[in-house]
Amino acid sequence: MKLILRFTLIFLLSITLASCELFVSNDGPFEITFDSNGGSEVDSMMVEQFDPFIPESVPVREGYVFVGWYIDEDLYYPMSFQTGTNRPLTLYAKWIEVGSSVDQQAIIDHILASLDLMTLIEGHVVDMLDEVEQSVVMIDTYQGFVLDGGGSGVIYKKEGNTYYVLTNEHVVNGYDSGEFIITVFTPEGEVTIPRSAITLRGSTVLHDLAVLSFTSEESFEVIEFAQKSDLHVGEFVFAIGSPLDLPNTQTLGIISALDREMADDLGMDTVTVQHTAAINPGNSGGALVDIYGKLVGINTMSYVDETVGEGIGGLHFAIQIDIILQVIDSLE
Residue 244 near residue 280, CB atoms below 8 Å? yes
Task: Round to whole Å and give the CA distance between 217 and 244.
Answer: 29
Q: Can you say how many angstroms the Cα of residue 312 is from the centroid of all Cα atoms in its chain? A: 26
Residue 170 annotated among the catalytic residues of the structure: yes
CB atoms within 10 A of CB 40: 13
Q: List the end-to-end C-alpha distance of the chain, in Å, as a whole number.
A: 98
Closest CA to 300 of 332, 269, 328: 269
Residue 124 annotated among the catalytic residues of the structure: no
Of 284, 302, 316, 322, the active-site residue reads 284
Length of the chain, please? 332
Of 114, 135, 152, 170, the active-site residue reads 170
Residue 196 annotated among the catalytic residues of the structure: no
How do 189-193 and 224-225 pair as beta strands? unpaired
CB atoms within 10 A of CB 142: 16
3-state DSSP assignment of residue 118: helix
Of 116, 208, 290, 322, the active-site residue reads 208
**92 CB contacts (<8 Å, ≥6 apart)?**
35, 37, 69, 70, 71, 72, 73, 75
Task: Round to whole Å and give the CA distance between 285 and 132.
Answer: 15
Backbone CA torsion sign across 186, 154, 170, 277: negative
Task: Round to whole Å and give the CA distance between 133 and 244.
Answer: 17
Closest CA to 327 of 163, 152, 202: 202
Query: What residues form DSSP beta bridges with 287?
Result: 240, 298
Which amino acid, residue 80?
S
What residues act catalytically? 170, 208, 284
